Structures are given as C-alpha cells and as structure tokens.
Amino acid sequence: MAALAIRSAGPDDAGTIAHFIRELARFEKLEHQLDLDEQRLRDQLTAEHPPFGVLLAELDGAAVGFALFFTNYSTFLTRPCLYLEDLFVLPEHRSHGIGIALLKRLAALAVERDCPRLDWCVLDWNTKAIAFYERHGARLMQDWRVCRLEGDALTRLAGGG
C-alpha cells in the first residue's frame, strides 16, 4: 500500500498548486474564470507573510491532492479562524481517505492556532462533497448566501467608473 503524507507547500510547489487549481476549475466547470499565474503563486508563497497556506497530499512522493486555506476573522468570536478555499483530490485517488486526511490536518492546524472555526463553501450540485463534509461533522449554513463583487461592479463601487 502506498504511503500517504500531508505536508505544507512552499514556493517550489507553485507548479503543482497551479495544476491542482486548473483541475479543480475543470471539475467545477469554471475554467472560464481562471486568471491563474504560477509566478504570482510562487511570489506570494515567498512573501514574508504569505496570504494563504497550502497542504499537499502525497502518495509515495507524488502529489495527489491539496487544500488551500487562509486566515479570516470572526467579529462575533473576536478571534481568527481558518477558511478553506479549495480542497481537491485527483479523481483517480478519491475514496481512499486522502480528502479526509487533508481535512483532518487542516482541522488540527486550526486547533493548533487556537482558531474556533473552520469555514468553506461547497457548490450546491456537488452532492458527494456535501455528503462527505456532513459525514465528518460539518453543517451547511442554509441561511447564508455568498456575495461577490468583481470586475466592473467592483470598480464602479470603488468610485472608478
């Protein structure tokens, strides 16, 4: 049986992270929204305070999945929390415990950092992911909706158009 390892990614992993982001966008049918820049990822990972962290799942040294996360803040709890932006495992490696290994390591990281909460979004059509998350104790926040400003709308609101 192959050995699974979860490790923190660094700047030299930017190409691997970019690959997983592309694969995730393809899976989510959102490739048209990609503005992916591998050098920008590398630069951000080399910053004194990187804006995000990445956990890589490796089987016998080969990357098969990732979790990209960052710190956010809860005003109600007046404490930093973790936000999981992306969790992805290559299709041929799903249902072998890799996703839960990544999620467990991220939960442990939240506990280590004294974060009271780990949040993320899931697409409503991704019933397998929803069932997976619920099986492991997550609850869907039915009353909340994601809001987003981008592109021209963002520029206009900022007073630029």
Query: Which residues form the catalytic set?
Result: 133
Q: From residue 130, how far is each of 37, 40, 124, 137 by CA, in Å?
A: 29, 31, 8, 11
Counting beta carbons within 10 angstroms of the beta carbon of residue 12, is it exposed (0 to 12), middle (13 to 18) or buried (19 or more)? Answer: exposed
Give the separation between CA 103 and CA 67, rounded to whole angstroms: 8
Nearest to 129 by CA among 88, 85, 83: 88
